[in-house]
Amino acid sequence: MTELTRQMWWHADNSSYGLLLQGHAVSSTIGGPYKFVDATAPLGNWSQDFGMFTDYKNKQTYALYSNGDSVEGRDIYISSFDKNLTSLEKSVYRFPKFDLEAPTIMQTEKSYWALMSHKTGYRPNNVVAFRADSLSGPWSQPFIVSPLNTRTFNSQSGFTLRIKGTKKTTYLYIGDQWDSNSVWDSRYIWLPIEVNEEQKSLELNWHDVYDLDVKTGEWSPVKGKSYSVQNAKTSGGAYKQEANFATDGVILTGIYGNDSTVTFENIEGSGKPQWVSFYYQTGGTPDRIGGSWQLRRISSVVVNGDVSDIQTLYQRDTHKGIILSTPLQLTLKKGKVNTITVGGLFNGFDYKGADLDRIVVYPAEN
């Protein structure tokens, strides 16, 4: 292999998810075309949810993968590549029988942190992390990284990105938000990771909007203006219901289709595109239609009564009594003259919108 050869590795499988291999292809340019080399069982093992990690200190690259769901599997492997990234050399560490998947490793100056997801199919769960001084271990017990029952803000661990700035190094969690109804339309969430080396802890907290300076590495949350459901107007079957877990003790429920809607009034806008975040719950459990779980509801969002421009708001499943949010970029008129109306859209099975807790309007970007 020449120095300019580009290596592509991926989880190679068939439609029944039964091969559990690692695929390898090469190209002279990053944009391809790529030539298929082979698909192999790494070091004679299975490979599921395959990822890669490069140690920024010694430049060594590793493969990260679980070895399937069978009784013989349920492990996570860290295995080192050769210097040309053409094959695996040896296993550096094995996380035994935790029954986890989707591994990603984050490296700080003092520690290695491995984030992984439980095996619950397309349904999200509480991602856990391990900490170690060395990739070869010993590794800590796993611990949950986000507030309980948020299911890691409806995401699965995917990747961690290190941004080394002139003033600070920031780490970002990039999580998959799988959509089992429209897998091709699954999205990502990007959240800053908060690390405390002294306490040997790592946390993920939700931010609708934050500023990140990739030159300095500094980031800070952006403050928005909240609008309570107490002041919203309801129509049709939508109504306000007592909820002691809600921001103002009340939640808007019964949102359905075009006839049962809620409207927030006197919303201040800038005349420019700006983020508006809709805080909601889906009622506590996934909607079950027949034998399948529906992990999202879809709401319509109409600004200032303009039904010719209906925005689509995806609201993923929440645990009972847990409020999550979905930001949506809207263009509002300048001044306190705007209305936002929320109804329900068809998610493939129903027109039910999620219950609303509040909306938050963020300032336009400079």
Instruction: Count the domains in the chain.
Output: 2
Task: Provide φ and ψ at 357, rounded to 5°.
Answer: -100, -40
Together in a domain, 252 and 198: no
Q: Where does the pLDDT of residue 366 fall: very low under 50, low under 70, confident under 90, or very high at 90 and above? A: confident
Q: Within a domain: residue 34?
A: no
Together in a domain, 241 and 352: yes
Please tell me the distance from the alpha carbon of residue 99 to that of residue 192, in angstroms, as a whole number. Answer: 26
Together in a domain, 282 and 350: yes
Q: Within a domain: residue 250?
A: yes
Interstrand relation of 187-196 and 201-204 (parallel, antiparallel or unpaired)? antiparallel
pLDDT of residue 179: 84
Please tell me the distance from the alpha carbon of residue 83 to that of residue 287, in angstroms, as a whole number. Answer: 49
Together in a domain, 55 and 71: yes
Q: Mean pLDDT: which of 184-188, 258-262, 280-284 is highest?
A: 258-262
Q: Within a domain: residue 196?
A: yes
Cis bond before residue 33 (omega within 30° of 0): yes
First to last CA, the chain: 47
* Gyration radius of the chain's alpha carbons: 23
- Which of 221, 244, 272 finishes a domain? 221
Range with the lowest mean pLDDT among 53-57, 65-69, 130-134, 355-359?
65-69
Retrieve residue 331's tokens: 């263009």
Together in a domain, 195 and 217: yes
Range with the lowest mean pLDDT among 47-61, 95-109, 206-220, 274-288?
274-288
Partners of 194 in the β-ladder: 203
pLDDT digits (tens, 9 = 90+) for 263-288: 999 999 999 999 999 999 986 556 66
Q: Is the pLDDT of residue 25 over 60?
A: yes
Mean pLDDT value of segment 155-173? 97
What is each CA distance from 240 to 122, 246, 285, 325, in whole angstroms? 32, 11, 20, 19
Range with the lowest mean pLDDT among 17-21, 206-210, 310-314?
17-21
Q: Where does the pLDDT of residue 301 fall: very low under 50, low under 70, confident under 90, or very high at 90 and above? A: very high
Q: Is the pLDDT of residue 2 over 70?
A: no
Q: Within a domain: residue 20?
A: no
Together in a domain, 124 and 229: no
pLDDT digits (tens, 9 = 90+) for 72-112: 788 999 999 999 999 999 999 999 989 999 999 999 999 99
Q: Is the pLDDT of residue 294 over 80?
A: no
pLDDT of residue 1: 43
Q: Is the pLDDT of residue 258 over 60?
A: yes
The one-character DSSP state at 260 is B
pLDDT of residue 271: 97
Residues in the chain: 366
**In this structure, what is the dihedral angle of CA atoms 106, 60, 62, 127, given to the nearest 10 degrees?**
0
Helices in 111-246 by DSSP H: which ranges?
151-154
Q: Within a domain: residue 118?
A: yes
Together in a domain, 300 and 214: no
Together in a domain, 248 and 139: no
Q: Where does the pLDDT of residue 125 fall: very low under 50, low under 70, confident under 90, or very high at 90 and above? A: very high
Q: Within a domain: residue 1?
A: no
Q: Is the pLDDT of residue 293 over 80?
A: no
Q: Where does the pLDDT of residue 9 fall: very low under 50, low under 70, confident under 90, or very high at 90 and above? A: very high
* Mean pLDDT estimate for the chain: 94
Together in a domain, 288 and 356: yes
Q: Which residue has the higher pLDDT, 328 or 350?
A: 328
Domain region containing 300:
225-361
- Other C-beta atoms closer than 10 Å to the C-beta of 294 total 19
Q: Where does the pLDDT of residue 61 fall: very low under 50, low under 70, confident under 90, or very high at 90 and above? A: very high
Q: Within a domain: residue 36?
A: no
Q: Within a domain: residue 12?
A: no
Together in a domain, 172 and 120: yes
Give the CATH number, domain containing residue 153.
2.115.10.20
- Which of 168, 193, 221 finishes a domain? 221
Give the CATH number, domain containing residue 301.
2.60.120.260
- Which of 204, 221, 238 finishes a domain? 221
Together in a domain, 234 and 183: no
pLDDT of residue 289: 61
Mean pLDDT value of segment 253-272? 97
Together in a domain, 212 and 290: no
